């Protein structure tokens, strides 16, 4: 079991958040290299756009190596004709941080100028934009720069004030770019309004179980762990304290506050029963075997029969069990995977097990197990609450959590 409860509270707080760094041409662009490292440490996904001038100070390769993503500079560099780079980058980003922001770039932002990739991406942004100015103190106190900063504030840009001290030019004064850790902190803080699950303890199960037939063979299913992991990440992004119990999975598990790995249905049940009492919200996403071989054999079953019969016995129903234990304030969400008669079966499951919500996934080409997409319908005791087209599992996770929050309000 990995337990991260003791960690610095800012660790992983940008878990999978998409941050676009726009680096413009000031000497302090070298500090933005450390900023990228800091953001990656916090768990963010980082992409970088540089102005032409910025590349005179630090090479794109440095940012590419640290961010593990290609760096874009040229507005007309159409590597991928299926998308327009400035629009794609702007809509990808959840936050844009302009660091360093030169006096020139700040002026361009104010005027809405879009004459290179960096300025065009910022102009096309719909997400919050943070700006970390860096310049010589003369440039900083220049009335035009100060006017521009006020304009940006009025435009709801978040200004990260420069500090005072020795400047790159040797002068002492105000204009030093804020330190990378402080900029990272401001980016983290900018998500605070979205932390609607702050103080909420969420328990999630994900992945599949494996039931041994003998020492080399097992019975399992095709669950990849994606849906549960997406929920864990979204819940963490919304400020929840997340405990994750996962069976066998195809992907690395997110670094939740507590991560427990299990193999069999019995281990899954024990882990859930151990942690359930301490959670506010429980998501039973894991695909736990309904049946397990009645007698798992030592060694290896011989290939000496034409027809082999393996007796299976029913496993314990974890969802039903926890629903019997749940207190008035706890909410339990079950997941159902159906091939047909989905709605009726989902409502039957909800009533039989007495859970608060059922999320139905239909088995389909782009929905259900082993694919990154899903098509979900959410039910509560009153019936169907909402239904989605095929969407990513990340999107599905967001919709599920939003629906539960609406129930709490
Ligand atoms: C050595 C050197 C250092 C510079 N440092 C800064 C700086 O810290 N801040 C700034 O606003 N401009 C600085 N400049 C000026 C910018 O590079 C210049 O205004 C450029 O046009 C900015 O282009 P951009 O905003 O497209 O990146 C510096 C120029 C040089 C040659």
Q: Is the pLDDT of residue 338 over 60?
A: yes
Residue 295 to residues 158, 213, 312, 325: CA-CA distances in angstroms? 63, 8, 8, 30
**Residue 105 alpha carbon to ligand 1 centre in Å:** 9
Q: SS3 for the chain, per residue? A: CEECCCCCCCCCCCCCCEEEEEECCCCCHHHHHHHHHHHHHCCCEEEEEECCCHHHCCCHHHHHHHHCCCCECCCCCCCCCCCCHHHHHHHHCCEEEEEEECHHHHHHHHHCCCCCHHHHHHHHCCCCEEEEECCCHHHHHCHHHHHHHHHHHHCCCEECCCEEEECCCCCEEEEECCCHHHHHHHHHHCCHHHCCCCCCEEEEEECECCEECCCCCEECCCCCCHHHHHHHHHHHHCCCEEEEEECECCCCCCCCCEEEECCCHHHHHHHHHHHHCCCCEEEECCECCCEEECCCCCCCCCCCCCCCCCCEEECCCHHHHHHHHCCCCCEEEEEEEECCCHHHHHHHHHHHHCCCEEEEEECECCECCCCCEECEEEEECCEEEEECCCEEHHHHHHHHHHHHHHHHC
Q: Is the pLDDT of residue 49 over 50?
A: yes
**Residue 27 alpha carbon to ligand 1 centre in Å:** 7
The pLDDT assigned to 409 comes to 62
Both tokens of 388, joined, read: 């989605």
Tell me if 258 sits within 8 A of 5, measured CB to CB: yes
Closest ligand 1 atom, residue 116 Cα? 26
Q: Is the pLDDT of residue 123 over 70?
A: yes
The pLDDT assigned to 11 comes to 41
Nearest-CA residue for atom 29 of ligand 1: 26
* Residues within 6 Å of ligand 1 by CB: 24-28, 51, 53-54, 102-105, 134-135, 139
In sequence order, what are the beta bridge partners of 380?
Answer: 383
Query: What average pLDDT does the structure give for the chain?
Result: 91
Q: What integer is the mean pLDDT of 80-102?
A: 89
Pocket test for ligand 1, best of 25, 50, 111, 119 (most atoms within 8 A of CB): 25
Q: Is the pLDDT of residue 99 over 60?
A: yes
* pTM beyond 0.75, yes or no: no
Closest ligand 1 atom, residue 106 Cα? 25
Q: Is the pLDDT of residue 344 over 60?
A: yes
The pLDDT assigned to 81 comes to 64
CATH superfamily of the domain spanning 196-408: CoaB-like (3.40.50.10300)
Query: How far is 174 from 162, CA to CA, in rounded Å?
Result: 7
The pLDDT assigned to 9 comes to 36
**Residue 53 alpha carbon to ligand 1 centre in Å:** 7
The pLDDT assigned to 208 comes to 97
Q: What integer is the mean pLDDT of 121-146?
A: 96
The pLDDT assigned to 80 comes to 66
Nearest-CA residue for atom 4 of ligand 1: 26
The pLDDT assigned to 12 comes to 45
Nearest-CA residue for atom 17 of ligand 1: 25
Closest ligand 1 atom, residue 54 Cα? 27
Closest ligand 1 atom, residue 175 Cα? 8
**Residue 103 alpha carbon to ligand 1 centre in Å:** 8
CA-wise closest residue to 271 among 259, 281, 257, 280: 259
| Enzyme catalytic residues | 169
The pLDDT assigned to 210 comes to 97
Nearest-CA residue for atom 16 of ligand 1: 25
Range name among 149-158, 169-178, 264-273 with the lowest pLDDT average: 169-178
Tell me if 252 sits within 8 A of 316, measured CB to CB: no
Query: How far is 292 from 213, CA to CA, in rounded Å?
Result: 8
Nearest-CA residue for atom 6 of ligand 1: 26
Q: Is the pLDDT of residue 326 over 70?
A: yes
Q: What integer is the mean pLDDT of 258-286?
A: 97
Q: What integer is the mean pLDDT of 224-243?
A: 93
Q: Is the pLDDT of residue 10 over 60?
A: no
Closest ligand 1 atom, residue 168 Cα? 8
The pLDDT assigned to 167 comes to 72
Q: What integer is the mean pLDDT of 386-400?
A: 90
Residue 170 to residues 83, 102, 136, 166, 218: CA-CA distances in angstroms? 44, 18, 9, 6, 69
Please report, for the chain, the start and end positions of each structural domain, with discontinuous segments joined by +.
18-190, 196-408
The pLDDT assigned to 296 comes to 76
More confident residue, 67 or 77: 67
Closest ligand 1 atom, residue 53 Cα? 27
The pLDDT assigned to 155 comes to 94
**Residue 373 alpha carbon to ligand 1 centre in Å:** 45
The pLDDT assigned to 5 comes to 33
More confident residue, 214 or 85: 214
Pocket test for ligand 1, best of 24, 32, 102 (most atoms within 8 A of CB): 102
Hey, do 18-190 and 196-408 end up sharing a CATH topology, with the first three levels equal?
A: yes
Contacts of 275 (CB under 8 A, 6+ apart): 203, 243, 245, 258, 260
Q: What integer is the mean pLDDT of 217-228?
A: 95
The pLDDT assigned to 364 comes to 76
The pLDDT assigned to 52 comes to 98
The pLDDT assigned to 373 comes to 86
Residue 398 to residues 35, 312, 402: CA-CA distances in angstroms? 28, 37, 6
**Residue 162 alpha carbon to ligand 1 centre in Å:** 15
What fold characterizes domain 18-190?
Rossmann fold (3.40.50)
Q: What integer is the mean pLDDT of 164-169?
A: 77
Q: Is the pLDDT of residue 331 over 90?
A: yes
The pLDDT assigned to 199 comes to 92
Tell me if 81 sits within 8 A of 56, measured CB to CB: no
Range name among 17-26, 64-73, 369-378 with the lowest pLDDT average: 369-378
More confident residue, 98 or 85: 98
Q: What integer is the mean pLDDT of 134-156?
A: 95
Q: What integer is the mean pLDDT of 379-394?
A: 91
Nearest-CA residue for atom 1 of ligand 1: 27
Nearest-CA residue for atom 19 of ligand 1: 104
């Amino acid at each position: 079991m990995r337990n991260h409860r003791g960690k610095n509270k800012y660790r992983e707080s940008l878990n999978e958040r998409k941050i676009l760094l726009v680096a413009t041409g000031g000497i302090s662009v070298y500090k933005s290299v450390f900023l990228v490292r800091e953001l990656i440490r916090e768990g963010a996904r980082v992409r970088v756009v540089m102005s032409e001038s910025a590349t005179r100070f630090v090479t794109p390769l440095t940012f590419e190596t640290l961010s593990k993503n290609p760096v874009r500079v040229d507005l007309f560099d159409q590597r991928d004709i299926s998308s327009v780079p400035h629009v794609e980058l702007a809509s990808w980003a959840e936050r844009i941080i302009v660091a360093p922001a030169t006096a020139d770039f700040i002026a361009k932002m104010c005027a809405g100028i879009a004459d290179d990739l960096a300025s065009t991406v910022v102009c096309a942004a719909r997400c919050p934009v943070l700006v970390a100015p860096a310049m010589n103190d003369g440039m900083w106190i220049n009335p035009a720069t100060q006017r521009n900063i006020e304009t940006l504030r009025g435009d709801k840009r978040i200004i990260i004030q420069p500090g005072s001290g020795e400047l790159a030019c040797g002068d002492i004064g105000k204009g030093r770019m804020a330190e990378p850790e402080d900029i990272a902190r401001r980016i983290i803080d900018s998500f605070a309004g979205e932390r609607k699950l702050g103080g909420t303890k969420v328990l999630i199960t994900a992945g599949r179980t494996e039931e041994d037939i003998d020492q080399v063979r097992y019975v399992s299913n095709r669950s990849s762990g994606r849906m549960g992991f997406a929920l864990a990440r979204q819940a963490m992004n919304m400020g929840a304290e997340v405990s994750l119990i996962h069976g066998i999975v195809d992907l690395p598990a997110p670094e939740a506050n507590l991560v427990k790995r299990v193999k069999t249905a019995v281990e899954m049940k024990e882990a859930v029963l151990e942690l359930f009492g301490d959670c506010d919200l429980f998501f039973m996403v894991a695909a736990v075997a309904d049946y397990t071989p009645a007698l798992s054999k030592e060694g290896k079953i011989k290939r000496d029969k034409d027809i082999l019969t393996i007796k299976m016995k029913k496993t314990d129903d974890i969802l039903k069990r926890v629903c019997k234990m749940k207190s008035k304030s706890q909410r339990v969400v079950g997941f159902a995977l159906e091939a047909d008669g989905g709605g009726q079966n989902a409502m039957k499951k909800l009533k039989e097990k007495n859970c608060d919500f059922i999320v139905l996934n239909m088995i389909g080409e782009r929905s259900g197990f082993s694919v990154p997409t899903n098509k979900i319908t959410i039910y509560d005791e009153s019936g169907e609450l909402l239904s989605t087209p095929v969407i990513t599992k990340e999107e599905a996770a967001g919709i599920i959590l939003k629906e539960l929050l609406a129930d709490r309000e």
